[in-house]
Structure 1
Amino acid sequence: MTAPFTSPAMEVLAEWTDYNGHLNMAWYHVLFDRAIEQALQPLGMGAQVAAETGSSYFTVQAQVHYLRELHAGDLVVVDTQLIAHDDKRLHYVQTLRRPADGTVAAVTENLVVHVDLATRRAAPFAPALRERLAAAVAAHAALELPKQVGRRVGLRRGAAEPAAQ
């Protein structure tokens, strides 16, 4: 089991860039999504498993930190680190980076829930899947977490309030 799971290299396409001349934020999500599909498929999660078993996973929370611009032609990889799981949920973090120089462009932290596709409700992981997830989480436990993990979105109250007149 690799720790972390690292995606194959992916190229930032010109049509993914916006009027600012860099990768549009929506496409960061596409790159992260492609990488998580590849990381979780060998563990027994993904499109084929959903079709065969009627169970899948839905993202219930995601936070992205955009750290560096990416441009058309940039090659990137995504490292996926599994942080924790319980009977129905999986918590993971992904780091999008340029493999040529190691520059981290974005970090996303996500929580997914295992779902019975017939009922569209949360459902426990099958015992064998839960064991594979536990092994992967244990294999990733020694990895350092990106400093963005666990951060809140927002401004501290009073941090930028104008002075009273």
Structure 2
Amino acid sequence: MEKRTPVFFFAPFVSSTMRVEPAWIDYNGHMNMAYYHVLFDRAVEEGFSLVGLGHDYMEKRKASFFAAEVHTTYKRELKLHDRVRITLQLVDFDEKRIHYYLEIRHANEGWVAASMEGLSLHVDMETRKVCPFPDDILANLAVMKTTHSRLSQPQALGHIIAIPHKSEFQDALSASGTRH
């Protein structure tokens, strides 16, 4: 029987520092929306490699995980050369899926530029079909989930896209002190 090394996770996981690249800036003078997903994707790769779901996993076990659904909220623009770090919180998992929440934060000032909620599926790369995680990965996900369960649940989790009703909009404007 193979001896398993215990895993330890910070809550939330915090990515390495990343920088907004020149090619990502659009004609509005800020980072184009598509590149927020590049940053999120890099953080997902970093974070879930800790549970064993990195590039080596795909090479050795011929399995990976694919995005099934994402919901992104853009809160504040990022500009050329801004440095960011991405936090990742494992919200839930089962035998074939992982549900997670991420925030892109300005590395120096700490404000949130964007958040993303995601659901990914575990996939057998030879059949290209969804399949169960192996036991060791499930065990690592359980440790990560236990650690991340101590965090408060993000307010944006499960957010529905909608235009607020006029009264909700007016209430929000009144609460913010904005005149219309």
Normalising TM by the smaller chain, what interval? over 0.9
Match of 2:138 among 130, 133, 152: 130
Structure 2 residue 84 is the aligned partner of structure 1 residue 76: yes
Q: CA deviation at 1:134?
A: 0.8
Q: CA deviation at 1:99?
A: 2.2
- The within-5 A match list for 1:6-155 is 6-155=14-163
- Paired with 1:108 and 1:20, the residues of 2 have a C-alpha distance of 22
- Structure 2: gaps of 5 or more residues: 1-8, 167-180
Equivalent pairs counted in the alignment come to 158
Q: What is the TM-score normalised by the length of structure 1?
A: 0.92
SS in 2 for 1:43: coil
- Paired with 1:57 and 1:114, the residues of 2 have a C-alpha distance of 4
Q: CA deviation at 1:144?
A: 2.0
- Paired with 2:75 and 2:155, the residues of 1 have a C-alpha distance of 12
Q: What is the TM-score normalised by the length of structure 2?
A: 0.85
- Paired with 1:149 and 1:113, the residues of 2 have a C-alpha distance of 18
| Runs of 4+ more than 4 Å apart | none
Identity of aligned residues (%): 39
What is residue 163 of structure 1 aligned with on the other side?
none
1:78-107: CA deviations, max 9, x gaps? 000000000100000001001211100000
- Structure 1: gaps of 5 or more residues: 161-165
What is residue 177 of structure 2 aligned with on the other side?
none
Residue type of the alignment partner of 2:151:
L
- Paired with 1:29 and 1:115, the residues of 2 have a C-alpha distance of 21
Q: CA deviation at 1:147?
A: 1.6
RMSD: 1.1
